[in-house]
Structure 1
């Protein structure tokens, strides 16, 4: 049985972070397949951890019959729900459907398909052994998140990062994503971000994290794991939003992480057996 992993044509390196998170738990990867063109796969029979945000190319669902999907960390965007619903039998065939968020769980169950909250593989990263934090990372955020006193006195390097990427080959994207996650794990004393696939790896690695992204079904996972969401960048509330005055304590999700790892690894092993 071949083993596939997802590749992405988006401009968001967070998509690739999801792939490297899954690859931690695979014995190997034989080939990469484009998330939005899974119906076009014509290689040998293969398993695929089908994680992430679906679906951009609605006409390309469901995936090829040569792909045996392991639905884990699955999220269905609103405009894709009618297409997914038309193929409920496909989901039933490959149940249970592990979903990233409760909204997707509810949607899949409404189709008469077994589903559960798997959360996301990006919560399984481990902290590097050489962790030596010396910087604050603003990932698509800015210094207005902090009080003036904190900006003046925190004594750490301040680094501004974007998860936007130009069109590049898959191997380059994956290497960049892996390097970025490792850098956060080694060097970040604090990460402030609106990117969910920046926040979740950092939380998993024990990095103090402030998430300022919009509240949506897709990002509700942060509440599921107990992280307080802040939104100082909303154009209406920004002038009145509380600023970060100190580095918060890191969130301990060791129990959740262990459960996600065991679940994903068991499903991969069963698919390969």
Structure 2
């Protein structure tokens, strides 16, 4: 074999070997093996890695390090309350969210804390700075009175909370869509045991992804406030107290002053193609919620992008046309005109939220705001875990009753329809 051919063959073999080693590292991280850290460091010293292989390695390397050498639990200064801010990092880069609508949800939920002028925000420096700045810009008529306290903010991740270094007894609202499957294996659920969760605006897409352990975890922290009726029925079928709360993004408009859309501005088509033959869309702008760069950004940076996106909807367009639930609801919450064009109008995620089954947005926003306020008042007053849960359960008792009545009425309608009445 000519010398050049030998060199090319050797390079190809080396590239395949490196691919195999990085795949092996991925598998070790997936099962949280303590061998992942040493292997990651060994691979980092290999000069023959291609640029693509180096990128794959550097994405896995920090997670491998956390497995081998878990960071110590963070300390919270005396008198401060540890509170989790939901992020979307994941050890599996492909499973990490790139949908800016996720960060809009986090922003909406955090608005219930940010709107309190008597709360001092500390903790993770970039998050404290971001939310303190946002706190100072909340319109006066949107502020919430309540206990004066200091809240220590920490990031925890929906799809990787077991890797997170969290203080003991970290309170958190748990909301949004569960469950992704990092590395195609199993969801990151239950959450990190240092989290004290209050489930509000929670969604599960498939019941077969939940283990008995996951159902037991939900049962232990019930009642579960569900974003949609599919999730309510799923949890009720397993004997878990659950109620319809609606979507937390219906409350995000409270962070901003009202706006009056300008009809002279272009129309934003968010993950919907602008029609080419419509004279009125000559200045249309096509926008997507799916942004790959969000997978690598720090949480504070992604939340800043979410604020920028909402301000763009509020100020740059005459109306919004979208297929995305988390463009529809936050845009409506900001008082904007929205044309809803879902890809699948019968998607079970939308029941109660959009289309003909939608509850009035104001009703959902009022419910989420009421429950969040009661729970936060108790947390910020320094009540014990058992006392906070007792206050929360008392508050949602009427919502559980209303959910019972809704489900009973639906059952009667279904029986009547089956009987041909």
The TM tier, using the shorter chain, reads 0.7 to 0.9
- RMSD of aligned C-alpha atoms? 2.3
Q: Which residue of 2 aligns with 1:270?
A: 378
> Are 1:143 and 2:143 counterparts?
no
Q: What residue number does 1:2 align with?
A: 82
Q: Are residues 1:55 and 2:179 paired?
A: yes
Q: Could you say which structure has the higher helix fraction? A: 2
CA contact 1:40–1:63 (8 Å) conserved in 2: no
Return the alpha-carbon distance in structure 1 between the equivalents of residues 376 and 193 of structure 2.
Answer: 18
- With structure 1 as the length reference, what TM-score do the two structures score? 0.80
Structure with greater contact order relative to length (CA < 8 Å, sep ≥ 6): 1
Task: Show the counterpart of 1:243.
Answer: none
8 A Cα contact 2:100 2:290, kept in partner: yes
**How many Å apart are 1:76 and its aligned residue?**
0.7
Any idea what the Cα deviations from partners look like across 1:85-123, whole Å, max 9, x if unmatched?
A: 443221122111000110100111111111001111101
Q: Name the CA distance, whole Å, in 2 between partners of 1:265 and 1:182.
A: 25
Kindly report which structure 2 residues correspond to 1:187-202, keeping only aligned pairs within 5 A, or say none: 187-202=316-331
Alignment match, 2:193: 65
Runs of 4+ more than 6 Å apart: none
**Alignment partner, residue 258 of structure 1:** 366
Structure 2: how far apart are the matches of 1:159 and 1:139? 8
CA contact (8 A) 2:83 2:154 kept: yes
From the superposition, tell whether residues 46 and 255 of structure 1 become closer, same or farther in structure 2 (CA, over 3 Å).
same
Q: How do 1:82-97 and structure 2 match up within 5 A?
A: 82-83=210-211, 85-97=212-224
Please give the residue correspondences for 1:223-262 in structure 2 after superposition, counting only pairs within 5 Å.
Answer: 223=355, 224-225=357-358, 253-262=361-370
Report the count of equivalent residues: 242
Supply the distance in 1 between the matched residues of 2:104 and 2:208 (Cα, whole angstroms).
23
Contact 2:258 2:334 in 1 (8 A): no
2:258 to 91, 116, 129: 129
Matched, 1:76 2:204: yes
* Unmatched 5+ stretches in structure 2: 1-80, 89-95, 115-120, 122-126, 128-152, 384-421
CA–CA distance in structure 2, aligned partners of residues 131 and 94 of structure 1: 42
Report the counterpart of residue 216 of structure 1 in structure 2.
347
Say whether the 8 Å CA contact 1:103–1:217 is kept in structure 2: yes
8 Å Cα contact 2:223-2:242 kept in structure 1:
yes
Local SS of the residue matching 2:348 = coil
Unaligned segments of structure 1, at least 5 residues: 227-251
User: Could you list the per-position Cα deviations for residues 165-184 of structure 1 after superposition, in whole angstroms to 9, with x for gaps in the alignment?
Assistant: 12331222111111111221
User: Going by fraction, where is strand more abundant, 1 or 2?
Assistant: 1
